[in-house]
Structure 1
Amino acid sequence: MSGWTERLRTWRPAPPPLPDHLEGILRDGDPEWFVRELAIAAAPPWWFWRFLLRNFSWLVDLFGRVEITGSIPEELRRGPLLLAANHVGDFDPFLVAVALHRLGVVPRIMATGGIISAPVAGPLLERAGGIRVQRGTEDARHAARVTEVALVHGGHVVAYPEGRVGLAPDGWPERGRTGMARLALGVRVPVIPVSQWGAQEVLQYGNDWGKLRTLARSLVRRPVLRVHVGPPVFMEDLEMGRVGDANRARMRIAAAITRGLVPLRAASRPLHPDPTRPTTGAAAFPGGVVPEDVP
């Protein structure tokens, strides 16, 4: 039994071969996962990931009523995309993935290294195009390189500009970091804002038995899980490396997500309070009020 358990713990699907043109960016000491993720990023979306999205997205509908507004024009879907989403809880990656698939996108989701390191589910997420983010470590630069490769090869990458589940007391998106903005300016790809609300009802913030309680409650209550996809964020006047432009891009992304979130929250019923969620963050635009003159 112990041998079977060990095999299950270490199992992972075979990655595609690393293209020859990417061999040159490898360095001595690069982690093993970096090579795998580069190869996956350069390859077309995994057939099994497409199969799951096509045939099992209804599982998300069990936990709430999914409502999707907005669209992504076909001409944009043919090329690379950065999809910038607010992060409200542990369930929202599933919601966002399903919503984007229904809009014609096969998403590659940036996720924390802890999730991708988990047995079975982690290797599956990695093979599906998930990009490991090791925040606060030297490995963070590897995530940026993998994301660049995915975008250069036409990938649709979902990223969370906040860098974590948002912790603003009023629940509006935080300002986030400049990493995604710098990536967008460097690779020059469209940034699509994705606003979503309601997924925080499905799984509470705290990692205890309360997660199962909120999951079971959502099966009965079936909260409305709303996703809105807005038009691309205007950044044509900004340049990589010019002083202040990365911060301007960051604020424009946060503003676009916040504007899309306003009607979603206005249409929602009051939510159950989550006492396990800290309120140590600060919203980029408190109360969802975005000035017209965002630089």
Structure 2
Amino acid sequence: MVLLVERAYTYRFYPTRERAREAARAFGRVRGQEPPGPRRGHVGPSLVLARAGAGPSLRYGARPGCQRTPQHRASTSRAANRETWGFIPYVLEETMSRPTRPSRFWETFAVVVVKPLSRLLVKRDWRKGDRIPRTGGVIIAANHLSWTDPVLLSHFLYNNGRWPVILAKSGLFKVPFLGRAVTALLAIPVERGSSEAARSLRLSAERLGDGCAILFYPEGTCTRDPDLWPMVGKTGAARLALESGAPVIPVAHWGAQELLPYGEKKPRLFPRKTFHVSVGPPVDLSKYAGKPAHGDVLRDATADIMAAITEQLAELRGETAPATPYDPAGR
């Protein structure tokens, strides 16, 4: 059981050793009740753990029509199960369905590339990461300063227990290999200025329902404010929050614009920059509950979200934010 605990913890099947021990104890209690082999509709250990209240209810290798009777379960010996159920089926079971994360191959690929690169390029000043919910659908609303901040912010979110589902320009999905990669990493294409623009919100709502963390830039693009404060936001994040009921967590960052200023293609690597991040408490949108999600309601809710992001940014910068956010439309 110790080996099962350590491997379950190491392979990130369970977030803590205590949780892994609970699962292992449940597995040891009930695995003798299940039939031995995968050839007759094997039910993997995860389903057994779920029945014991300790793990996810996912099936592995089940075949249609292979139903089990109480007599069949009772006739199965624990020795036969131990002989058939090695650790390999357990690993396969846990990798079959990952609705809130990409496949292990693509997750490992991204982590191997992004984390060392991020650590090499910038120093870290990360604050209040404990305010990010570790489970359940959540909207991460952030300011946008540079083309590099989605990568750096993804590193921050990953280290705080969440895989970020990013809304990305649809053009990226058409680039060879890159398009396949961003699709595999669960990114959502955004079709700007077209009739398909609402599709990204529908996909985001579906991912929220699966329990994903959606990384949203309410400004829609890098800020055009001369002093790099957040601009007036677009209403997509507010609409998604009001319609889904998912919490909105404001995240502000500073420093990515020093690494790669907006509009430039050549990064400024030296001296090494610092990437500052601060997380605020969930935005209170309760006063909009029950109201139709359009018009003034969406604009006011968006203003509340942007104000929460700006508050965190002012704390990071040690400056006073402008009373009125910059509006690129001149309204």
TM-score by length of 1: 0.71
Choose from 265, 273, 281 the match for 1:223.
273
Contact 2:131 2:279 in 1 (8 A): no
How has the CA–CA distance of structure 1 residues 265 and 150 changed in structure 2, closer, same or farther, with 3 Å as cutoff?
same
Structure 1 counterpart of 2:122: 64
| CA-to-aligned-CA distance 1:73-130 (integer Å, 9 cap, x gap) | 57x3210000001000100000110011111111111111122222212220121010
Q: Residue 287 of structure 2: SS of its match in structure 1?
A: coil
Pairwise CA RMSD of aligned residues? 2.2
Distance 1:177 1:155 in 2: 21
Amino acid at match of 1:260: Q
Counterpart mapping for 1:107-146 below 5 A: 107-146=164-203
Counterpart mapping for 1:1-295 below 5 A: 43-46=99-102, 47-52=104-109, 54-56=111-113, 57-73=115-131, 76-206=133-263, 210-212=264-266, 215=267, 217-218=268-269, 220-239=270-289, 240-241=291-292, 244-266=296-318, 288-289=321-322
Distance 2:278 2:306 in 1: 14
Amino acid at match of 2:298: A
Amino acid at match of 1:228: S
Q: Residue 115 of structure 1: SS of its match in structure 2?
A: helix
Amino acid at match of 1:139: E
Q: CA deviation at 1:58?
A: 2.2
| CA-to-aligned-CA distance 1:200-254 (integer Å, 9 cap, x gap) | 1222322xxx522xx2x32x31111111111110112213516622112101110
Contact 1:195 1:258 in 2 (8 A): yes
Using CA pairs below 8 Å that are at least 6 residues apart, which structure has the higher relative contact order?
1
TM-score by length of 2: 0.63
The size of the alignment, in residue pairs, is 224
Distance 2:255 2:162 in 1: 21
Q: Residue 288 of structure 2: SS of its match in structure 1?
A: coil
Contact 1:258 1:290 in 2 (8 A): no
Distance 1:44 1:244 in 2: 33
Amino acid at match of 2:321: G
The runs of at least 4 consecutive aligned structure 1 residues that moved more than 6 Å come to: none
Contact 1:53 1:101 in 2 (8 A): no
Amino acid at match of 2:310: T
Amino acid at match of 1:241: P
Distance 1:231 1:53 in 2: 28
Q: CA deviation at 1:144?
A: 1.0
Which of these two proteins has the greater Rg computed from alpha carbons? 2
Q: Residue 204 of structure 1: SS of its match in structure 2?
A: coil
Q: Residue 68 of structure 1: SS of its match in structure 2?
A: strand
Q: CA deviation at 1:52?
A: 3.8
- The runs of 5 or more residues in structure 1 that have no matched partner are 1-41, 268-286
- Give the fraction of aligned pairs with identical amino acids, expressed as a percent: 34
| CA-to-aligned-CA distance 1:10-46 (integer Å, 9 cap, x gap) | xxxxxxxxxxxxxxxxxxxxxxxxxxxxxxxx93411
Distance 2:221 2:129 in 1: 25
Distance 2:254 2:160 in 1: 18
Contact 1:69 1:227 in 2 (8 A): yes
- The runs of 5 or more residues in structure 2 that have no matched partner are 1-97, 325-331
Distance 2:171 2:138 in 1: 25
Distance 2:280 2:152 in 1: 16
How has the CA–CA distance of structure 1 residues 223 and 146 changed in structure 2, closer, same or farther, with 3 Å as cutoff?
same
